[in-house]
Structure 1
Amino acid sequence: MTDTSTAKLPAKRLFCFGLGYSALTLARGLVAEGWQIAGTVRSAEKARALADHDLYRKAEVFLFDRGQPLEDAAKALAGTTHLLSSVPPDAEGDPVLAAHVDDIAALTALRWAGYLSTTGVYGDRGGDWVEEASPLQPTGPRGQRRVDAERQWLRLHESSGLPVHIFRLAGIYGPGRSQFRALREGKSRRIDKPGQVFNRIHVEDIAQVLAASMARPDPGSAYNLCDDEAANPAEVTAYAAALLGIEPPPLVPFEAAALSEMGRSFYRDSKRVSNARIKDDLGVALLYPTYREGFRAVLEAEARASDI
């Protein structure tokens, strides 16, 4: 099995459009190996709120949002060898490419670029399997925006040779981002929709897949980032409750649940996503192959953090 640890990667400069949950987890491993890290946040308030974050003290942080491009893009992006975008598209398209497509295309030292998309681009398959070559059939406007953004990034690869890679992420979880808080506060819901299944991915597995891709670039490729087991969300919530030693929330039939449109959209698609490519092409061995191992690790990590 190929070693995909960041320790094997030489020091480089990673620029992240969107220093969010997944990007920060990747960057934290890279900065420990001598990488230079830079990236964006949406507002000065966000930058101030994160000023004491251990990684932000070591990174160059710039403001970026729709209608607020980088103040000096050439200076901010100078020396970038690896670029990651986790900024979601909006109704007008991909904000990063809308503002900085020419600046990105001009990065002559760029060796790798990654765009974080979602497995939602496959749409609803009634619980059947999908792989990277499966048709993209999103069931709603949010999924269609992701398809359109993927195509924009891939066109940039085709037109300018930019080394773009597409990463389709399943439901992300990890320390500080899981079901445990809602369960403890009595705010969790357990929706009963028989046959509903989808995959998840621990944030540390996202980071290791991205690092593996950086070590073995294959521009133009797409990868599914998900665990080995698509599961029913009601079962997952029950397992999380059991880990906490509490009773799970009662089952509420999907038809009777007063969900918002956003909430209903999460139950619109049912599918099983293959992760064979990250294993076969990148040599990745998942740290958390199912939510069971992942949830136990999250509880352990949160317990350690509370002791500090």
Structure 2
Amino acid sequence: MRLLVFGPGYTASRFMAAVQARGGEVATVTRATFTDQARTRVEIAAATHILSSIPPGEADPVLAAYGADLAASGKWLGYLSSTGVYGDTGGGWVDESAPLRGRRGGRVEADLGWGALPNAHVFRLPGIYGPERSALERMAAGATRVYFPGQVFSRVHVDDLVAGVIAAFAGPPGAYNLADDLPAPQAEVLAYAAELLGIDPGPAVTPDEVELSAASRAFYAENRRVANGKAKRLLGWRPRYADYRLGLRALKASTSPTSTSTPPPTASSDQR
């Protein structure tokens, strides 16, 4: 196989490494080469599988520039979307049949645009964590635990995400939620990370007791549990790290964050 990746960021880079480990070839379209349309069209023609991890602005840049080429390509197509397209469900469970009513219209339009392409697999992702981007690094750097009563988040280990996308190589087109089995409050996850590190987690504070950016407040204002049953049924996918405890323990066993670590940005489904 030959994989073409638009936007080789954190998640896509791990996906590329997994494909190469299986003997596949990989090509990329980066910010620097995106506008070289002749080169990009050659790469689209040469690829067997095409994945985009570029988040949209007001519109999806890949669809705007190369949508017609992708639609006519006949290739396996994949797009890393966000569970943010569902919007706030008040903590209720949401699956792929739910209406898309996220607060970011560009994200919803991109999700729908990719989903309309032939052979397209749209992966709706919650908060992504993994090596050097987890609650371990945040707590080692002294993060404050913010507690929103009744609020939960879904998340997924980056290696489980990669496994889900690879499973979709042989699966039917459509939208798939790739999330673990246990939505949980962020403050709870951070407390467990502190326990693994052997440090005091500090008190959990309310949103009114800490300064949050407007973007962070908007992010934390949403509350939903993401169901993953469709990916399990149709792709045969099972998250190896079925909950955050398993994922963080595995990360702790392979890395040891120190107090000099730099915390990653606030957990977001756009961290790809």
Shift of 1:203: 0.4
Structure 1 Cα separation of the partners of residues 41 and 224 of structure 2? 42
Structure 2 Cα separation of the partners of residues 298 and 196 of structure 1? 25
Matched, 1:283 2:236: yes
Structure 1 Cα separation of the partners of residues 139 and 153 of structure 2? 20
Count of equivalent residues: 257
Matched, 1:178 2:134: yes
- Determine the structure 2 residue equivalent to 1:14: 3
Is the Cα–Cα contact under 8 Å of residues 82 and 113 in structure 1 kept in the other structure? yes
Matched, 1:99 2:99: no
- Determine the structure 2 residue equivalent to 1:152: 113
Give, as a single letter, the amino acid of the residue that structure 1 aligns with 2:159: E
Cα deviation 1:169-228 (Å, max 9, x = unaligned): 010000011122232222x12112110101100000011110111022x12x11101010
Matched, 1:298 2:263: no
TM-score, scaled to structure 1? 0.80
Instruction: Choose which of 79, 82, 103 in structure 2 pairs with 1:118.
Output: 82
For residues 122-201 of structure 1, the aligned pairs below 5 Å read: 122-138=86-102, 140-141=103-104, 144-155=105-116, 157=117, 162-186=118-142, 188-201=143-156
Structure 1 Cα separation of the partners of residues 40 and 189 of structure 2? 43
- Determine the structure 2 residue equivalent to 1:257: 210
Shift of 1:301: 2.5
- Determine the structure 1 residue equivalent to 2:227: 274
Cα deviation 1:221-271 (Å, max 9, x = unaligned): 111010101101111110011100000132221123211112112211111
- Aligned Cα root-mean-square deviation (Å): 1.6
Shift of 1:86: 0.6
Structure 2 Cα separation of the partners of residues 193 and 71 of structure 1? 50
Is the Cα–Cα contact under 8 Å of residues 226 and 275 in structure 1 kept in the other structure? yes
Taking every aligned residue pair, what percent have the same amino acid on both sides? 44
Unaligned runs of 5+ in 2: 258-272
Instruction: Choose which of 56, 65, 90 in structure 2 pairs with 1:89.
Output: 56
TM-score, scaled to structure 2? 0.90
For residues 202-217 of structure 1, the aligned pairs below 5 Å read: 202-216=157-171
**Further displaced range: 280-289 or 70-79:** 70-79
Give, as a single letter, the amino acid of the residue that structure 1 aligns with 2:83: T
Structure 1 Cα separation of the partners of residues 108 and 232 of structure 2? 24
- Determine the structure 2 residue equivalent to 1:239: 192
Structure 2 Cα separation of the partners of residues 303 and 183 of structure 1? 12
Cα deviation 1:89-135 (Å, max 9, x = unaligned): 002x0011111112223324x1x111111111111111111111011
Is the Cα–Cα contact under 8 Å of residues 115 and 175 in structure 2 kept in the other structure? no
Is the Cα–Cα contact under 8 Å of residues 69 and 99 in structure 1 kept in the other structure? no
- Determine the structure 2 residue equivalent to 1:4: none
Is the Cα–Cα contact under 8 Å of residues 160 and 240 in structure 2 kept in the other structure? yes
Structure 1 Cα separation of the partners of residues 231 and 72 of structure 2? 29
Matched, 1:30 2:36: no
